Amino acid sequence: MSTNLQRICLSIIERIYNCKFLNEIMENNSSYLNLSNRDKSLVNMTILTFLRRNGEVELIIKKFLKKPLKNKHNVVMNILRLATTQIVYLNIANYSVVNGFVNLVKKVRPGYESLVNGILRNICRSRPNFTETTQTIKNLPNWIRLGWEKSLSPTIVKDISKSLINIPKTDINIKKKVIFEKNWEEELGGKFIFDNVLRLNKTKQIKNLIGYNDGDWWVQNAAASIPVKVIEKFFLKKNDVSVLEVGSSPGGKTMQLIDAGFNVTALEKSETRFAKLEENLRRVNYTCSLVKMDLENFKLKNNFDCCLLDISCSASGIVARKPEILLFNKSVKQLIMDQENILNKASKLIKKNGIIVYCVCSLIYEEGENQIKIFLNKNKKFKKIGLEKYFSKKFDFHFKNGDIMTLPINYKDMGGLDGFFISCLQKYE
């Protein structure tokens, strides 16, 4: 890896430590964008591997760093992090890694060449010890690990941590009307995981796949499709059922609802995300009532049969897909307050015998299980609908107190699921 590529990796890592999302960084980094596809892949692999292994990388460095570096020397630590990742976890020649990063530190922090050189050479010599033992639980920050352990056992959390070092799979949700028109497993190169959700065998250029230009399908993780499946199973007749979807972009669940025949109103407050929702619906040739507004300001003449709440959350359930979250020192207090407010607002928009389907892509207790407990204690006109009865044993989900938790270790042989919490609440006044 050239010093130029190492410098690009360094600039990306520095921005992630300032709580910027990786895709946003990549899209605005001209040096990265001007690289060849091969070099982009190498940068991506280095960054993503470090993020997924961040805790293990820190442990390795600490074995050879006698005194912690002060904050003003973060750039040196970041160089050690990237170099350690390449030496221990990627198949890159050790001499190339060491020489390149020593030259880089000479340019950006003169005087630290000997320290970096010595630590990296020690890591090279000890590499077999690190590759034979893994401590993946160390890759989880405390706010995620402790939040998960309130809902799941420490053993399950440890198993999840092992799965998060793997590259997540891509799933395709195929329209009902075309599901039998082609042998989709053969055409797309994948296998159905359940219903009309197909998992691709390997990463591919999505826009080049059969059916993309015809709008026959959309990309959506299997776990993200389950909230709409709950709605489908609750309402046997779809045509007259009105559904308000809150937090609709990028549109996977919106497309599912339209595909199932529901009368959909999609609410999205972000202008950028609203534009993305419109674009995605156009591609699959689907329409519904689109409203660019937050729920707080939303006014309506008639209440809905169903409200699907896909609420902003910590995203702890999708760290395999967005591993930069593992470096964020998040406080979920404000998120929890916002979630509670949205749930309470939605409760006033539901008809008698209607339902709220609440989902978050997080496995943290306070964002899921406890949020529902608080709501039911305050809203006596609602009851929880147990979801086990809607899904046969062929569905590999984690059920708890009538709710669904999809875990990265569900469907393990097929590559796991994103982490979601899903609950269904019925108004029975």
**Contact by Cβ (8 Å): 277, 249:** yes
* Angle subtended by helix axes 74-89 and 94-108, to nearest 10: 170
3-state secondary structure the chain: CCHHHHHHHHHHHHHHCCCCCHHHHHHCCHHHHCCCHHHHHHHHHHHHHHHHCHHHHHHHHHHHCCCCCCHHHHHHHHHHHHHHHHHHHCCCCHHHHHHHHHHHHHHHCCCCHHHHHHHHHHHHHHHHHHHHCCCHHHHCCHHHHHHHHCCCCHHHHHHHHHHCCCCCCCEEEECHHHCCCCCHHHHHCEEEEECCEEEECCCCCHHHCCCCCCCCEEECCHHHHHHHHHHHHHCCCCCCCEEEEECCCCCHHHHHHHHHCCEEEEECCCHHHHHHHHHHHHHCCCCCEEECCCHHHCCCCCCEEEEEEECCCCCHHHCCCCHHHHHCCCCCHHHHHHHHHHHHHHHCCEEEEEEEEEEECCCCHHHCHHHHHHHHHHCCCEEECCCHHHCCCCCCCEEECCEEEECCCCCHHHCCCCCEEEEEEEECC
**Contact by Cβ (8 Å): 60, 127:** no
Spatial separation of the C-alpha atoms in residues 379 and 347, rounded to whole Å: 8
CA distances from 59 to 22, 80, 81, 182, 206 (A): 23, 12, 10, 50, 37
Q: What are the structural domains of the chain?
A: 3-134 (1.10.940.10), 171-427 (3.40.50.150)
Burial 185-196, CB ≥16 within 10 A → b, else e = eeebebebbbbb
Q: Half-sphere exposure of residue 304, counting CA atoms within 13 Å on the CB side?
A: 26
User: What mean pLDDT, rounded, does the chain reach?
Assistant: 93
The residue length of the chain stands at: 429
Percent of the chain at pLDDT above 90? 86
Using the Cα atoms of residue 309, residue 310, residue 312 and residue 313 in order, give the sign of their dihedral. positive
Q: What angle do CA 318, 17, 74 make, to 5 degrees?
A: 145
User: Of 2-6, 68-72, 328-332, where does mean pLDDT reach its minimum?
Assistant: 68-72
Spatial separation of the C-alpha atoms in residues 119 and 87, rounded to whole Å: 12
Joined together, the tokens standing for residue 40 give 């982009």
Phi, psi of 200 (to 5 degrees): -70, 145
Give the per-residue pLDDT at 357: 98
Residue 3 vs residue 61, higher pLDDT: 61
Give the per-residue pLDDT at 314: 95
Q: What is the mean pLDDT of residues 62-73?
A: 83
Q: What is the mean pLDDT of residues 118-134?
A: 85
**Contact by Cβ (8 Å): 309, 375:** no
Give pLDDT tens digits for 289-317.
999 988 888 887 789 999 999 999 999 99
Phi, psi of 384 (to 5 degrees): -85, 140
Give pLDDT tens digits for 226-244.
999 999 999 988 778 999 9
Residue 245 vs residue 18, higher pLDDT: 245
The model's pTM: 0.93
Joined together, the tokens standing for residue 258 give 């339209």
**Contact by Cβ (8 Å): 230, 422:** yes
Give the per-residue pLDDT at 3: 76
CA distances from 390 to 147, 385, 404 (A): 28, 10, 11
DSSP bridge partners of 243: 264, 306
Give pLDDT tens digits for 16-60.
998 889 999 999 999 999 999 999 999 999 999 999 999 999 999
Give the per-residue pLDDT at 296: 84
Tell the residue number behind the tokens 């053969």, with chain if given: 186
User: Of 125-134, 150-159, 390-399, where does mean pLDDT reach its minimum?
Assistant: 125-134
- Look at strands 190-194 and 197-200 and give their pairing: antiparallel
Spatial separation of the C-alpha atoms in residues 405 and 399, rounded to whole Å: 6
Spatial separation of the C-alpha atoms in residues 37 and 22, rounded to whole Å: 17
CA distances from 146 to 154, 164, 350, 362 (A): 9, 17, 34, 13
Give pLDDT tens digits for 326-371.
998 878 999 999 999 999 999 999 999 999 999 999 999 999 999 9
Spatial separation of the C-alpha atoms in residues 24 and 322, rounded to whole Å: 12
pLDDT tier for residue 73 given thresholds of 50, 70 and 90: low
